[in-house]
Every structure is written in C-alpha cells, then in structure tokens.
Amino acid sequence: MQLQAFAVAVYVIWFRELKKYFRERTRLAAMLGQPLLYLLIMGQGLRTIFQLNIEGFDYLSFMYPGVVAMTILFTSMFASVSIIWDREFGFLKEVLVAPVPRSAIAVGKALGGSTTALLQGTILLILAPLAGLTLSANAVIQILPLLFLLAFAITSFGTMVAAHTESMEGFHMIMNFIIVPLFLLSGAFFPIGTAPEWMQALMKLNPVAYGVDALRNIMFTDSPAKDFIVYYPLAYDVLVLIVFSAVMVTLSMLAFNRIE
Amino acid sequence: MIQVENLTKKFKDFTAVDAISFAVGAGEFFGFLGPNGAGKTTTIKILATLLRPTRGTARVNGYDVIREATAVRRSIGMVFQDPSLDDRLTARENLELHAMLYGVPRREIAPRMAELLELVGLADRQRDLVRKFSGGMKRRLEIARGLLHRPGVLFLDEPTVGLDPQTRNHIWEYIGGIRKNEGATVFLTTHYIEEAEACDRVGIIDHGKIIALDTPAALKAAVNADVITLQAEAPGEAVRAIREQLGLRAVLTDGVIHVPAGNGAGERLVPRLAAAVPALTALSIRKPTLEDVFLHLTGRAIREETAGALDRMREVRRASARRGG
C-alpha cells in the first residue's frame, strides 16, 4: 500500500514536470539557444587559439560533448529550482499534505528533471554535424542512457540543496556558487591534463567532469585524439555517476521526509 | 471529529500555540477567529500533520496526528492560505492529480469531478489553464479539490484572504452550498468577523491561547452590552466629559470613542451622551458583533499586523499574477 502510494506520487510529480516542460515553449527555446551560442560563438572564437596539435581533430569537436553536458547541467538545475517556490506557494504543498510518502517528491523530481534534460540533450545531438562530428547509431544508443544518468545525478543534487534551502534568494546564491564551478571545472573547454595540479584535484571531485569524460569516451572511440582527451575508462565514469546519484537521491529523500 | 488537548507549539523561544484544548463534532462548521499571528495557521498545520506539536495531543477523525499521520492526511481536505494549485495545468488536470494522490478509485473520479466543478461554478472552465483564473476562481477550485476525496474534515485556512469584498461574498455563497450538500465537518480560520459569524461555533484565539469558545450568539450575549461609538472634535475632552458627567469609562481607539452600555441601557444613554459631549461629530448605537467580543476580551481590535517576509513575497506574487492576467 505504502509502496503503491510512493509509486503514484513519483508518477504524479514526473508527469507534472513533463506537462509543464512541453507547455513552456520559451523555456525550451532558451535552453536550446544557449548551447548554440556556446558552440557557434565561443567555439568559433576559441578554436583559433586552442591548438590541440592533433591531425584532423578540431577544437569544436572537443568542446561539443562539453556543451551537451552543460545543457544537461543547466536544465537539471533549473528543474530543481522550482522546488523552493513550489513548496511555499505551489503544488508541492498539496503533495506534502497528501497521504503519500514525502520522499517520493525527491524521486519524482529527479526523474522529471532527468527526463526533460534528456529530451533537451537529444535535440542537441542532432547538432553534432555543426561541430564536425558524425555519431553512429551505436554511439547514440550509448549516449542517451548516459545523458539520463548525468541528468539524474545533477537533479538529485539540486533537489538535495533545494530541500535544505529556505528562500529563493538563498538558492540563487548557492546555485551561482555551485553551477559555475561545476561547469568550468568539467573539462568542457580544456582537457583535464592541461590544468594545474590543484585544479585537477578539484576536477576529480566534479561529477560533471565524469559525464563529459564518458561522453568523450563514446564519441571519440575511434579518434586518434582519444588517448589525449579521455581520462578514465567509460565503466569508471558511469560507476562514479551511479554512486553519486544514489547518494544524492538518498540524501534528498531523507531531507523531504524531515520537512515540516 | 477533532479532539485537541493541551496542544503547544514553540518555535525556539516563541510560543505560537499555547496549551490549547478544544473539540469539534461531526458535521460542525467550526471557526477560529483571531488576528494575524495568533496561532490559527500553526494549529491547522499541526492538525494537518504539516507541523509536529511541541507538547500535547491532537486527533483528527479518530487518528493521532503524530503516530497516524498518513491516516490523518487521507481523511482530511486542505485549502491553504496561499494557492497550492499548479497554474500551468488546467483545472481538470489539477483535480485529476489530486485524485491520484489520494487514491480515489478510477471510476469514481469523473462523476465526482463533474459534481464538484458544478458545485463551485467552474464546470465550463475546467479545460482552461489555472493561470488564466482570477483569485476567486482559484480559491473555488482549491475548495473543490479539497473535497474531491470526500474528506471527513475540510480545513479552510483564511479562505478569502487577499480577495476583494465582492469576491469574498461570492466564495461564501459557494461555501454555504457546500455546507448544505457535502455535510463535511469544516474547520475554518479567519480574521474577518463576518466569516466567523457564519460558523456554528467560534473559538477566539489570541497570542496562541483560546480566550473564548462558543456559538456566535452566546459569545455576543456574554458581552451583554450595546455598542455606542462616537466621534468628537476634541476626543480627549469628550472622554473626560463622559467620565465626569455620566460616570462611564469610555475608551478611545484611533479617534473613535467606545462607550460601554449594559443591555437596553444604550437607547437611554444616547440623548445624555449627545448633551454631555462638546462638539460631537458622530454618534451611533448597535448590537455587539464578534469584533466587540474580541475587543471586550483583549482590549484590542482585530486588525492586520505588520507584514512579515512571507506576506511580502505573497504580495509580489499577487502583483505579478495580476500583471500576467
């Protein structure tokens, strides 16, 4: 009975997240426009400066997996921001008073956020040729579950932070302090190996870096540059993301159970 | 339906609810009247299992709010002070999600929704997005949603706060209809006198304590006085004149002078007051209301206290909702 109520509540929250996603066209456009800007402007601008010195390997291709991961990062975090507003003035109050376990909110939110992020990421994959990449069907089949996993990890993390935050202002502060470093230290724009020692240590703690690395693992399996730009085996990347997700979703479930 | 004993809630050093006890019977329309910050919402939140009491016990529909929280939640309907609808979904979708969360059997959902949408006058708007609704329509939809799973007790926390008087009356017409048709026990909090007058019984709450609890008629009878108010160009002098010439203790609040008058004595006092007070500008006499009961018990008027952070956020939200149409 309790398990059924849990499942229903997860479904309700997930369903609501998707409904809202498809109704908000402007958000959809903004979330897609941003990575395009990065690829077209920043990528084009930086490609002349960054020389990877690898025959037939372009900076744009190097940056592309990073931009995909960035889109996942922003979409996922965005999904978790709404929790704070919702808890005080919105639908979450309705769920908090309903006869369902509150921990279901954490899971429903994480699944909803990851589903929308996955959709967003999928659309970005179509842009791969812009970065001079062709993705095989096999690669796409591996990339999609990976994007879902990365999105799940980040949304659970964001949800955990949101569950502990009282005000909207507080959350924005924290998010600026978290999102930007996660993004800059993900290895999206420069290879981990070129960074100074201390920065490399930080990058090892960044879950997004493992997402970027995993994407490069898949996208550049046959590339001559693989040894230079990929740091960990794919299985290791995935394992880190799974463990991180499990810890974060557990923490946010506990946080919601404690909410008064 | 509700039994509360010795219920206390402290937030750090602040005691929001101070050892209150009361009971609400089946089918009763019960109201909590008091100023903002008196402890009304805190009490409702405890009864709805959203807050844990510091001390004391509370049972709702026979279930303990601490040990049997899920059973309590299944058996109550809740309408919060602030909207808790999803305004990017339609009215119908909001009700459907609620039905799922409360495990309403699938074949009962459609007829029950139709019945309630009819009852709150939103049947023809059910497929519209809630964000296009006015404040009053949202409120009505929330009330319908609270009743969807046939709760034993419906909680209405300041159901008309922030609405204009006309909309408030309108909402009350619907609440009257619900009282007739649904037969649920209703627990209402309000700081509007007129709303409390409509209840079967009213608890007057101030600084976390219930200072009186009875039917509105009995509460007013206890004041046992007509209410005479008057205004004068020199209020201070007028108060002194009333005290010296008539031997009555008049009270001055916000430029208005209140004179206590035992039952029946009011009419005889009026001409004498008119004669005693120099430069009289206004004089009125009426039967007591619950406002006077509150004034009589606390020496203060029920009025809006300074807005907290949450109230300001509410204001911003309302303002942006208005702009958004």
pLDDT digits (tens, 9 = 90+) for B82-127: 888 988 899 999 999 999 999 999 999 999 999 999 888 899 999 9
Across residues B54-59, what is the average pLDDT? 93
**Bridging pattern class, strands B201-206 and B29-33:** parallel
Residues paired with residue B176 on neighbouring β-strands, in sequence order? none
Same domain, B124 and B240: no
Give the tens place of pLDDT for each residue, A87-124. 777 788 899 899 999 899 999 999 999 998 888 888 88
How close, in Å, is residue B255 to chain A by CA atoms?
Answer: 38
Strands (E), A42-161: none
What is the residue extent of each domain of chain A?
Answer: 2-258
Same domain, B250 and B201: no
Going by C-alpha positions, the residue among A4, A111, A218 that lies closest to residue B101 is A4
Structural domain includes residue B45: yes
Q: Which of B214, B236, B256 is the last residue of a domain?
A: B214
- The ranges of chain A with pLDDT < 70 are 1, 51-56, 260
pLDDT at position B3 over 90: yes
* Domain at B234, CATH number: 3.30.70.260
CA pair distance B251, A171, nearest whole angstrom: 50
Report the range out of A76-85, A87-96, B149-158, B171-180 with the highest average pLDDT. B149-158
Question: Is residue A100 less than 8 Å (CB to CB) from chain B?
Answer: yes
Q: Do A91 and B48 touch (CB under 8 A)?
A: no
Going from the C-alpha of A84 to that of each of A91, A170, B50, the distances in angstroms are 11, 10, 16
Same domain, B16 and B104: yes
Angle at B47 between CA B46 and CA B51, to 5 degrees: 20
Q: Do B97 and A12 touch (CB under 8 A)?
A: yes
Q: Do B313 and A89 touch (CB under 8 A)?
A: yes
Q: Do B103 and A98 touch (CB under 8 A)?
A: no
User: Which two three-digit tokens encode residue B175?
Assistant: 């609440």
- The H or E element that residue A177 is part of is helix A168-184
- Write out the residue range of the structural domain in which residue B28 sits: 2-214
Spatial neighbors of B132 by CB under 8 A, at least 6 apart, are B325
CA pair distance B5, B8, nearest whole angstrom: 9
Q: Helices (DSSP H) in chain B: which residue ranges?
A: 40-47, 69-74, 91-101, 106-119, 135-147, 165-182, 193-197, 216-223, 235-246, 265-276, 290-298, 309-324
How close, in Å, is residue A260 to chain B by CA atoms?
Answer: 5
Same domain, B124 and B254: no
Q: What's CA A90's distance to the chain center, in Å? A: 25
Same domain, B64 and B192: yes
User: Which two three-digit tokens encode residue B271?
Assistant: 């001409």
Structural domain includes residue B316: no
pLDDT at position B207 over 70: yes
Spatial neighbors of B201 by CB under 8 A, at least 6 apart, are B24, B28, B30, B31, B213, B214, B215, B216
- Return the residue of A nearest to B310 by Cα: A88
Nearest to A8 among B71, B100, B314 (CB): B100
Across residues B240-266, what is the average pLDDT? 78
Domain count, chain B: 2
Query: Looking at residue B129, what DSSP letter applies?
Result: B
CA pair distance A171, B198, nearest whole angstrom: 43
> A40-56 burial string, b = 16+ CB within 10 Å, else e?
eeebeebbeebebeeee
User: Which two three-digit tokens encode residue A78?
Assistant: 């965005």
Q: Which residue has the tokens 């001055």?
A: B252
Residue B229 pLDDT level (bands cut at 50, 70, 90):
confident
Q: Do A94 and B71 touch (CB under 8 A)?
A: no
Structural domain includes residue B125: yes
The mean-pLDDT minimum among B33-47, B161-175, B263-277 falls in B263-277
User: Which two three-digit tokens encode residue B324?
Assistant: 């958004």
Q: Do A99 and B100 touch (CB under 8 A)?
A: no
Nearest to A100 among B52, B86, B101 (CB): B101
Which chain B residues touch A9 with a CB distance below 8 Å?
A: 101
Q: Which of B154, B179, B214 is the last residue of a domain?
A: B214
Same domain, B143 and B91: yes
CA pair distance A238, A218, nearest whole angstrom: 12
Structural domain includes residue B294: no
Going from the C-alpha of A10 to that of each of A161, B90, B95, B101, B260, the distances in angstroms are 19, 20, 17, 10, 60
DSSP string covering A63-85: HHHHHHHHHHHHHHHHHHHHHHH
Give the tens place of pLDDT for each residue, B250-261. 888 777 888 877
Structural domain includes residue B165: yes
pLDDT at A56: 66
Asked if residue B130 lies in contact with residue B94, where contact means CB atoms within 8 angstroms, the answer is yes
Same domain, B139 and B272: no
Structural domain includes residue B203: yes
Q: Do B86 and A91 touch (CB under 8 A)?
A: yes
Same domain, B205 and B232: no
Same domain, B53 and B159: yes
* Domain at B151, CATH number: 3.40.50.300
Same domain, B146 and B233: no
